[in-house]
Amino acid sequence: MTRIRAGISLIVLLAACQAPAPPAPDLAAARAELMAVDRAFDSAVAAAGPRGGEVWGTFFGDSGKMLPPVGELIRGASGTAGLMGPFFADTLNRLRWAPEHAEVSGDGSLGFTIGASRTIRMVDGQERVLERGRYLTVWRRQADGRWLVAADVGNSREEPAP
C-alpha cells in the first residue's frame, strides 16, 4: 500500500511540475501577417529594380527551394538570386504578384500563400503583360519570428499578342 501511495504521489508531483502548454497561436492574425509578408516580398523586389534578384534571395534564406517552370530544383538564397538575377537585371522586365489566400499550420510554424502573377515587359514606355500565372509559396517561420520561403512554385501562360 505504501508503494502505491508513493507512486501516486510521484505521478501527482510530476504532473504539477509539467510546463504548461504554450498558448495556441492566433491563426487569423498569422494568416493576415503571411499575406502582408508576401505583399512586402513583391514590393521589395519591385522597388529593387535591377537588384531584384538579390532581394528575391533574401526572402528565401539558405534552406528555401524554388521549382522553376523549366529546369531543376533551385536551392538557397544564392541559387534563387542567381536564377532570378538576370531577369531583373534587364530593366525592362518586371514580375509582379499578389497573394489571394493564405493558410497557417495549427502551431503557426508553416504556412502557404496562393496568388496571381504577371510577367511584364516595358515596351515604348508602357507595360505589356507577357504572361499571367498562378503561384504557391510555402513559408516557414524562423526562430526570430520572420517568415522565409521554404518552397516556391508557379505556372504561367502567355498572353495573346495585342
Write the CA distances from 19 to 5, 14, 28, 71, 106, integer angstroms: 24, 10, 26, 48, 20
CATH number for position 49: 3.10.450.50
Quick: pLDDT tens for 74-109: 999 999 999 999 999 999 999 999 999 999 999 999
Q: Is the pLDDT of residue 11 over 80?
A: no
Asked if the structure places residue 109 within a domain, the reply is: yes
Domain of 127? 25-158
Q: Is the pLDDT of residue 14 over 70?
A: no
Asked if the structure places residue 83 within a domain, the reply is: yes
pTM (whole model) above 0.85: no
pLDDT at residue 61, as a whole number? 85
What letter would DSSP give residue 159?
P
pLDDT at residue 43, as a whole number? 99
pLDDT at residue 73, as a whole number? 97
Asked if the structure places residue 39 within a domain, the reply is: yes
What whole-number distance in Å separates Cα of residue 142 and Cα of residue 70?
A: 29
